Amino acid sequence: MAFSFFNKRDKSEPVPDQPTQQSAPQSEQPPENSGFFDRMKQAVTRTRDSFSESISSVIALTREVDESTLLDLEPVLLAADLGAPTTALVLENLRQRALRTGIQGGAELKQLLKSELKQILDSVAYPITHPATPPEVIMMVGVNGTGKTTTTGKLAHLFATGPNPRTVLLCAADTFRAAAIEQLEVWASRSNTPIIKTKQGGDPSAALYDACTAAKARGTQTLIVDTAGRLHTKSDLMKELDKMRRTAERLIPGAPHQTLLVMDATTGQNGLIQARLFTEAAHVTGIVLTKLDGTAKGGIVLAIATELKLPVVYAGIGEKIEDLIPFDSSAFIDSLLD
């Protein structure tokens, strides 16, 4: 039976927006007055086109927010790939909110939805700091073809050209796939970054040992390590990741400071299942979500927060070197719904 949420608001109840907690590293914070928002908006065009339109039609029909409104909202959230658990959480929070204070029409429903979504993202965000004593070591990990090597190159460019430029060294620790080292060399030259490598078939931990030693000797601020694509089920390859972590730790206390799982946004809920198993095995600290430009299912960002309890730290929005942006929850939600 439909029931009305058209109650009076308790004035003591706080109105929507929560304080923003940025998830981007300090040196790469999106400048407020730049084209950052436009780039985020451009990146989520496909998600926005379907999501925003469907939400608008629910909102346009909403005079009184009741159970049937929430039922209409459910397929819209699922279609954007928020996933069943996150969709259920959002709807339950809206229901509770409506029961407590009422939701007065479509416009207010939209504000509350934005607030709910942003709260989900901010609950897992943390400010990323660089270690006081360099070098910082960042490992890029993930299953095959998600965009690890491309992101390594883009990240080197972002660090080197950001408002607080950092010196970067790349380590080619994918010795497994043919031409992987050459591929990273192309990115090293595009981003004008030095690279440490070994031969194909060589020991990735040996390459990492050399890279850590070189980064220390040169006073490099950030060492980014490109690793081979692997499935969490390949236990020998997962052990290899462990060995790399131990090698870095032995040479640089606290390393690896970040382990970024690179996820392909176009793989949707399947990618999420793989990611869950991967994060458990590989001490992942944050997510890089690539190919956001190529999907209408950008709502996966919210499923990542709820189900992996990890923030998306960077988003890949194209194939060019500058197509990587620090993820910002406010810009993301506003881009989707404004």
Ligand X SMILES: Nc1nc2c(ncn2[C@@H]2O[C@H](COP(=O)(O)OP(=O)(O)OP(=O)(O)O)[C@@H](O)[C@H]2O)c(=O)[nH]1
Give me the residues that bind Mg ion (CB under 5 A), please: 148-149
The single-letter code of the amino acid at 270 is N
Residues that bind ligand X in the complex, under the rule CB under 6 A: 142, 144-150, 174, 177, 180, 229, 262, 290-291, 293-294, 316-319, 323
Task: Tell the smallest beta-carbon distance from residue 256 to ligand X (Å).
Answer: 17
Task: Tell the smallest beta-carbon distance from residue 187 to Mg ion (Å).
Answer: 10
Task: Tell the smallest beta-carbon distance from residue 154 to ligand X (Å).
Answer: 8
291 binds, among ligand X, Mg ion, none (CB under 5 to 8 A by kind): ligand X
30 binds, among Mg ion, ligand X, none (CB under 5 to 8 A by kind): none
Task: Tell the smallest beta-carbon distance from residue 272 to ligand X (Å).
Answer: 17
Q: Which of 333, 334, 328 is nearest to 315 (CA)?
A: 328
Angle between helices 45-60 and 36-43 (to 10 degrees): 80
Which CB sits closer to Mg ion, 187 or 209?
Answer: 187
Which CB sits closer to ligand X, 55 or 139?
Answer: 139
> What secondary structure letter does DSSP report for 306?
I
Query: How open is the CA angle 20-258-120, to the nearest 5 degrees?
Result: 30
Helix (H, G, I), strand (E, B) or coil at 136: strand
16 binds, among ligand X, Mg ion, none (CB under 5 to 8 A by kind): none
Which CB sits closer to Mg ion, 68 or 144?
Answer: 144
145 binds, among ligand X, Mg ion, none (CB under 5 to 8 A by kind): ligand X
User: Is residue 50 within 8 Å of residue 296, measured between CB atoms?
Assistant: yes
Run of H or E including 74: helix 67-79
Q: Which residues pair with 168 in a beta bridge?
A: 222
Q: Which of 193, 134, 158, 219 is nearest to 27 (CA)?
A: 158
Which CB sits closer to ligand X, 115 or 183?
Answer: 183
147 binds, among Mg ion, ligand X, none (CB under 5 to 8 A by kind): ligand X
Which CB sits closer to ligand X, 81 or 174?
Answer: 174
293 binds, among ligand X, Mg ion, none (CB under 5 to 8 A by kind): ligand X
Task: Tell the smallest beta-carbon distance from residue 290 to ligand X (Å).
Answer: 4
Q: Give the rounded distance of the alpha carbon of 316 from its chain centre.
A: 9
The single-letter code of the amino acid at 94 is L
The single-letter code of the amino acid at 191 is S
Burial of residue 255, with CB atoms counted within 10 A of its CB: 0-12 exposed, 13-18 middle, 19 or more buried:
buried
- Radius of gyration in angstroms for the set of CA atoms belonging to the chain, rounded to a whole number: 22
27 binds, among Mg ion, ligand X, none (CB under 5 to 8 A by kind): none
CA distance 174 to 17: 44
Which CB sits closer to Mg ion, 101 or 149?
Answer: 149
Which CB sits closer to ligand X, 299 or 318?
Answer: 318
Task: Tell the smallest beta-carbon distance from residue 299 to Mg ion (Å).
Answer: 27
The single-letter code of the amino acid at 99 is L
290 binds, among Mg ion, ligand X, none (CB under 5 to 8 A by kind): ligand X
Q: Measured at CB, which residue is nearest to Mg ion?
A: 149
Task: Tell the smallest beta-carbon distance from residue 7 to ligand X (Å).
Answer: 45
List the structure tokens of 267: 């793989």
Which CB sits closer to ligand X, 40 or 65?
Answer: 40
User: Is residue 66 within 8 Å of residue 4, measured between CB atoms?
Assistant: yes
Task: Tell the smallest beta-carbon distance from residue 191 to ligand X (Å).
Answer: 13
Half-sphere exposure of 110 (CA within 13 A, CB side): 21
